[in-house]
Amino acid sequence: MKFDNTYFRDLVGFYAPVDAALAPDPKLVKFNHALADELGLDVTNLDLAQTFSGNIKPDGADTLAQAYAGHQFGGFSPQLGDGRALLLGEIIIPAGNRIDIQLKGSGRTPFSRNGDGKAGLGPVLREYLVAEAMHALGVPTTRALAAVTTGARVQRQTAQNGAVLTRTAASHIRVGTFQFFAARGELEKLKQLADYTINRHYPDAATAENPYIELLKRVSNAQAYLIAKWVGLGFIHGVMNTDNSTLSGETIDYGPCAFMDHYDANAVFSSIDQQGRYAYSNQPLIARWNLARLAESLIPLINDDPDTAISQATEIIDAFSAQYEFHWLTEMRRKFGFETQHSNDENLFDTFFETMNDNMVDFTLAFRALADLADGNATSLRDLYLTPTAVDDWIEQFQSRIQSEPNASQNIRAANPIYIPRNHLVEAALKAAEEDGDYAQFEQLLALITNPFTEQNGKEVYAKPPLMVDPNYKTFCGT
Ligand code: AMP
Ligand code: MG
């Protein structure tokens, strides 16, 4: 690995240098060779288990824990930071961009507070599966390079095998990173961070009339695009705190996330989200709220006159909803297989979701079934409804709309996955791995969800929702 560690070098005072804890008996459980190739990593001479547990620090790595703050469920914590993660460093990959390599679960840091700095195997495998699925689905995301068990036990609700996830990211700069320095009134550092972020993610913003307003605009657009992607997949992040909101626009920190099976606009799975703050259809509003927190942090950089700065920033935040609408419509047209734009499209999309209300319609299968519908067969869609007549009027509208869309069915099959990491499949795969050391289901699921658009013979059960819906299904934090 050829490191070039700008965060370490250029942002002294933004992190604590720390070494990983010693893993007593590291074992590699999964390595992402395809990703390693993309990153241009030559791992032939590396001991993967020792390296990706943190026991061996690769040449050129400068391990550090980043400082950040964040609003968690609406309440501000001035000091969070990497409590269980270490940045190894950055590499420039063959495609030319700079990528962070980070260990998650590698032991305590000065930011650990009361935490043990560790991660359990279940959540590590969960993040591995979901991150790689999201990537295959075309969603900006951090990725999973390796999963290693440490040989130590970690105490959560129950005792678990300890594990370390190695993840890669465009960067780990969060809204909360800005909040950390803004809250402390450290304006020099705030400016340094903003300039660093512009240079790393939005370099042409540097020459804009007001680079910090331009930064806000770019992040706003990236977040609007990201959330439209999530919504288009029935994905619920579950813990959209400002410290889990990136400046790059990548999805980060897969904790209690989930994909919905049947469509439910109010879907919440996270055990800790009792108010439904991060419910499925709230996500665009929360993204906007998080951006407003970024905007507040940037105020002193935007203009010396706070009133002017606030009015400029407010304009950007106010534009978020329209930006989101634009990305949502684009995403929906893609999912419905449309290549042209009609003025009634938004209404057609909205009414499709209305037909699904209270009908226990599987979200993913419904979009796949649109391809059959475009081919003239309405059965596979109607069969998904408790009351199939609920969708009959809509079917007529759709059929008339696709008169001008000759490629609709093939577009739909290319845009809508058949395999997603469904909750019951993920749980079963994790249970087998955790309890029996059996990775067969994990491997099978990973293979399908990383090739999500191609139907495979004999794998029908992986495309289906669970036989029994568990209305109390909950996901948990605590990597
Ligand atoms: P997350 O839930 O991943 O967004 O984490 C929120 C904050 O809690 C971050 O500052 C984490 O570093 C910290 N944290 C979560 N779990 C642990 C742990 N086991 N040990 C130390 N810090 C943790
Ligand atoms: Mg986090």
* pLDDT 10s digits, 136-151: 999 999 999 999 999 9
C-alpha–C-alpha distance, residues 75 and 462, integer Å: 39
pLDDT at 42: 93
CA atoms within 13 A on the CB side of 266: 6
Assess contact for 52 and 164: CB atoms under 8 A. Answer: yes
* Burial class, 192, CB count within 10 angstroms (exposed 0-12 / middle 13-18 / buried 19+): middle
Angle between helices 423-436 and 440-449 (to 10 degrees): 150
32: CA distance to ligand 1 center in Å? Answer: 24
Nearest C-alpha neighbor of 300 from the set 175, 199, 177, 181: 181
DSSP designation for 218:
H
Q: Which two tokens stand for residue 465?
A: 């929702």
Closest CA to ligand 1's atom 16: 478
- How do residues 222-270 score in pLDDT, each as one tens digit? 999 999 999 999 999 999 999 999 999 999 999 999 999 999 999 999 9
- 243 labelled catalytic: yes
- How do residues 57-114 score in pLDDT, each as one tens digit? 999 999 999 999 999 999 999 999 999 999 999 999 999 999 999 999 999 999 999 9
Closest CA to ligand 1's atom 22: 83
Which of 4, 19, 204, 243 is catalytic? The answer is 243
Find the farthest-apart pair of alpha carbons in the chain and give their distance in angstroms, rounded.
65
Across-strand partners of 163?
119, 149
Q: Does residue 406 surpass a pLDDT of 80?
A: yes
Sign of CA dihedral 101, 67, 280, 257: positive
Q: Does residue 471 surpass a pLDDT of 80?
A: no
Q: Which two tokens stand for residue 92?
A: 């420039």
308: CA distance to ligand 2 center in Å? Answer: 33
Closest CA to ligand 1's atom 1: 253
pLDDT at 475: 80
Q: Does residue 479 surpass a pLDDT of 70?
A: no
What's the pTM? Answer: 0.97
